[in-house]
Structure 1
Amino acid sequence: MQYTSLPPGYLTTTLAAQAAGVQPATIRDWVRRGILHRAGGSTRHPIYTVDAVTTAQTAAKPNRPGQRAHR
């Protein structure tokens, strides 16, 4: 299901990734880790608020054992 139009201030996973400058997999990882919360949509096609994405982008991310450092 593709959204033909979203309410103002909401983003799909792809649009959220573009806005944050990351890959869509990173957005899904943030959700799984509790850094970003869905604002609606369905399980397969979630939507997020712009404010939640920008907050998640600037949030401190805990390191996981074995995770490579970004340079």
Structure 2
Amino acid sequence: MEHISLPPGLLTTSMAARLCGVTPATIRDWVRRGILTRAGGTPRRPYYRVSDVVTAKSTAKPSRPGQRGPAAA
């Protein structure tokens, strides 16, 4: 369910995911890892600033132990 009257300059998790070309789970992972911060909303329906989402998209993501690397050629 999307917010009907979201303030200008803010995105829901689904909207942020579409903007970045990732899944909503990735957006939640970025929040958990400290790459993206919530701008408000509720715990179940957070929203994010457009500028923060764009910055998070272009930020180098730290790798985690056991994470798959680039495919071998």
Q: Which residue of 2 aligns with 1:19?
A: 19
Q: Which residue of 2 aligns with 1:63?
A: 63
Q: Deviation string for 1:25-64 (max 9, x for gaps)?
A: 0000000000000000000000001000000001111100
Q: Choose 1 or 2 for highest CA Rg.
A: 2
Unaligned stretches of 5+ residues in structure 2: none
Q: Which shows bigger deviation, 41-50 or 60-69? A: 60-69
CA contact (8 A) 2:35 2:56 kept: yes
Distance in 1 (CA, whole Å) between partners of 2:12 and 2:28 is 11
Q: Which residue of 1 aligns with 2:36?
A: 36
Return the letter of the residue paired with 1:52: D
RMSD between superposed Cα atoms in Å: 1.3
Q: Which residue of 1 aligns with 2:53?
A: 53
Distance in 2 (CA, whole Å) between partners of 1:56 and 1:70 is 21
Deviation beyond 6 Å, 4+ runs, structure 1: none
TM-score, normalisation: structure 2 = 0.90
The offset of 1:5, in angstroms, is: 1.5
- Cα 1:22/1:70, change in 2 over 3 Å: farther
SS of residue paired to 1:47: strand
Unaligned stretches of 5+ residues in structure 1: none
TM-score, normalisation: structure 1 = 0.93
